[in-house]
Chains A and B, each alone.
Chain A
Amino acid sequence: MGAKTLFSHSMRIAWKDLTELFRNRLGLVLLIVMPLFMMVMVGFIYPSNGGTGANLPVGIVNEDSGFNNSTLPSQTFIMGLEIMNNQTHFLAFSNVTTMADIKDMVQRGDLEGGIVIPSNFSQSILTGEQGTVIVITDNSNLQISAQINGYSQLYIEQLSTVLAQKNVQSLNATNALAVVNPYSIQLQGVVSGTTNYFDFVAPGIMAMTVMMSVMTGLPVAISQEKEVGTMDGMMVAPINRLSIILGKTLGQTARGLLQGVIILVLAIGLFGVAIQGSILLVFALLLLGVFSFVGLGIVITSFTKDQETAQMLMMTLMFPMMFLSGVFFPIQTMPWYMQDIAKFMPLTYAADAMRKVMVLGAGISAISTEIIILIAFGAIMTAIAVPVFRRMMTR
């Protein structure tokens, strides 16, 4: 009886919320207009590089002095970069001799940026240390700089995953096979047609809109019912208190996903974004993102007494999240302390995972870290939120 009635009451509440939503014409229009505005704005701020692919000229410097006369790791690395770029064409590589040359060429405008492999690269890799790669960009041009940073980051992360999987495999073959897929899966996607900075931004905006709409929608929906008095009507019914919050969450999630679909359609239709990965995985990630945010939404709901406070609090939280989570600007371009703050935001991971799936066609294994972190975020926040909410309900 318990779980079934809990769910059926939740569905009733969700249905009620959605009926209200669909009867609110202006609200419904705004639901579509808001993401459209955001897309158009971003489309203008980060204009497409036009024509056939970005092909940003980037120099590669290999200063690797090798280890035991082997420079295999750096060669593998460069090869990996080239293989990946041959499929996506975000960047156009050329060989350069020194780091100083890159700086000169960037200043002259021959190059937009560079990737430098330091002299101890092979040594670090072969002795089990982390191999550092330096990415140089023209920081006077924030857009291009952000693009190169973003793409290099994507490439290098992919390569890291590949290498990590290889390493794990060599440690324990049976286990490794179970955990990781052959890396070819992650590189299957081929970005066709136009690619622009919008490819970078669209997945993040999608993740952001869906998660934000749940996070803002929930406190507003509940505090509004408290203010108007309708909450009392639910509270005097012999129902589990959790079904109220669950029902509200279901309703808001449906609303958020609807907005997500609108963004996706706009992104594909108006901005020529192509999805490389599985669309199912994209939606699964959106739901996971919602799960990671719901707890936070509930906690805020419990602490705010009226709609106005709830909205103000949400705005305060939303702004840092919008700008620190790497939705608009790659995290790597931020100062280190900001990067540290970004690590505490679930949106960072959701946006990152979405980008990997949508732009690079990554599979589940490639984003397993993000998935685990999002689940952990969600579990911890929900564990905090449920008792807080119960207490609030019986004031």
Chain B
Amino acid sequence: MANESIIEVKNLTKMFNKFTAVDGINFDVKKGEIFGLLGPNGAGKSTTLRMLSTLARPTKGTAIIGGFDITKNDNEVRKLIGIVSEKMIMYNRLTAKENLWFFGSLFNIPKDVLTKRIDELLELVQLTKWKNAQVGTFSTGMRQRMNVVRALLNLPQVLFLDEPTLGLDPQSSVEIREFIKKLNRENGTTVVITTHMMVDADLLCDRIAIVDHGRIVALDTSANLKKTISGADTTIISLEISNLSPELITALRGLNCVDAVTQENTLTLRIIVHGSEAFDSVIDKVRAMNGKISSMQNLQPSLEDVFLHITGHQVRDTADQKIPQEHKRFGASQQGRIR
């Protein structure tokens, strides 16, 4: 039971004209797990999710969800899944209850069952008080809770979430994460989530697939992914230099033992190094350039380091570019490259 796959993705490919957004990916999602697709905007996560949720047609390949092929039995697949999209699927001029009633009625749920379910769901996300208020008057956090609840109307076996915490304040993010965990624990709902937020992936997901340029570059549990860099001879150091200069950063990047350098803030650098001589080489270089080290720390690797290590560029860099369409990805990720 525990190892049974509910989603099998087979060579899934999506092309927009000549641009390949998703490049023949393969993976399985086990029943009852929380599976994360982590990567920068434009990596192909959302396109993958749209194909899995039958909203976009794959150019090549397919996926089997709960025994149904997404390209052949799309309506059967739709009965099993729920999707929380990055955009709010909600009509602002309808009340919370009317919205849920409308979407629920499209699933042919019997009236009495639906009425009861809507009440339960609204209670679950503490919106009962607002059930007769128009959704347009809701705060972003309330709207996102509504958005999640809408996807649960048909009691889906698989819930897809596309950047569910995007644009939410920390408190609302925590609420959504807790809610997803609860849903997974209590109902055994399989969850597939896309995110470019390391925290989300780290705190939520049983397994994480790191996606870059339409391909899966790594797939494992968070702990195992981190081991890939903290093991062997890779170390992460945080270096605070009181007279940090761009020249110094360039010089450090030039070192053989340095894999990646990112600037955390005005004075602090985060450096991934390898080899036993690495510490000495870095310190020597800083001293040779007259840099003044005010603090130095040996860090536990984060998922971000893993991503950096594997792809050679930062998640944040590409994410910050705010790329609206998959097509534009190329230019943006080029800029995002550090070395």
Interface residues of A (CB under 8 A from B): 5, 9, 12, 16, 19-20, 23-24, 228-230, 232-239, 394-395
Contact = CB atoms under 8 A, between A and B. Distances in A.
B134 A23 contact: yes
Contacts of B134: 23
Interface residues of B, number: 30
Interface string B95-137: 0001000110111100000000000000000000000001000
Given A232-B85, A238-B75, A20 B94 contact: yes
A234 to B, nearest CB: 7
29 contacts: A9-B105, A9-B106, A16-B94, A19-B98, A20-B94, A23-B94, A23-B134, A230-B87, A230-B91, A232-B85, A232-B87, A232-B89, A233-B90, A233-B103, A233-B150, A234-B103, A235-B54, A236-B53, A236-B54, A236-B55, A236-B82, A236-B83, A237-B78, A237-B103, A237-B107, A238-B106, A238-B108, A394-B57, A395-B57
A20 B134 CA distance: 11
A230 B93 contact: no
A156 B86 CA distance: 63
A229 B85 CA distance: 8
B89 A230 contact: yes
Contacts, number: 66
Contact of B93 (A9, A24, A229, A394): A24
A239 B89 CA distance: 17
A230 B90 CA distance: 6
A395 B56 contact: yes
Nearest to B156: A236
Nearest to B151: A236
A4 to B, nearest CB: 11
Given A19-B98, A229-B88, A395-B57, A236 B81 contact: yes
A19 B98 CA distance: 10
Contacts of A24: 93
A232 B160 CA distance: 13
A23 B102 CA distance: 16
A12 B102 contact: yes
B337 interface: no
Contacts of A233: 89-90, 103, 150
A9 B109 CA distance: 12
B107 A238 contact: yes
Nearest to B150: A233
A235 B56 CA distance: 10
A239 B98 CA distance: 19
B105 A12 contact: yes
Contacts of A236: 53-55, 78, 81-83
Contacts of A23: 93-94, 134
B292 interface: no
A255 to B, nearest CB: 15
A234 B106 contact: yes
Given A230-B87, A236-B81, 13 more contacts: A5-B108, A9-B105, A9-B106, A12-B102, A12-B106, A19-B94, A23-B93, A232-B87, A233-B150, A235-B55, A238-B78, A238-B107, A394-B57
Nearest to B83: A236
Contacts of B81: 236
B79 interface: yes
Interface string B148-167: 00100000000000000000
A229 B107 contact: no
Given A236-B81, A395-B56, A20 B93 contact: yes
A236 B55 CA distance: 7
Contacts of A229: 85-89
Nearest to B106: A237
A24 to B, nearest CB: 6
Interface string B42-81: 0000000000011111000000000000000001101101
In the complex, the 10 A-B pairs of residues with the closest C-beta atoms, listed nearest first: A229-B87, A237-B106, A233-B89, A23-B93, A238-B78, A238-B75, A20-B93, A16-B102, A12-B105, A394-B57
A229 B105 CA distance: 19
A235 B134 CA distance: 23
Residue of B53, B54, B85, B93 with highest tally of chain A CB at under 10 A: B93
B56 to A, nearest CB: 6
A239 B79 CA distance: 10
A92 B98 CA distance: 61
Contacts of A19: 93-94, 98
Nearest to B79: A238
Contacts of A395: 56-57
A395 B94 CA distance: 28
Nearest to B53: A236
A80 to B, nearest CB: 56
Contacts of B54: 235-236
A41 B25 CA distance: 62
Contacts of B91: 16, 20, 230
Contacts of B53: 236
A388 to B, nearest CB: 16
A331 B315 CA distance: 64
Residue of B57, B82, B89, B107 with highest tally of chain A CB at under 10 A: B89
Nearest to B54: A236
Nearest to B108: A5
B103 A232 contact: no
Nearest to B57: A394
B45 to A, nearest CB: 16
Contacts of A228: 87-88
A373 B91 CA distance: 39
A12 B106 CA distance: 8
Given A23-B134, A24-B93, A232 B83 contact: yes
B25 to A, nearest CB: 19
Contacts of A394: 57
A234 B89 CA distance: 9
A229 B53 CA distance: 14
A234 B99 CA distance: 12
Contacts of A16: 91, 94, 98, 102
Nearest to A1: B108
B314 to A, nearest CB: 28
Contacts of A238: 75-76, 78-79, 106-108
Contacts of A9: 105-106
A234 B53 CA distance: 12
A224 to B, nearest CB: 11
Contacts of B108: 5, 238
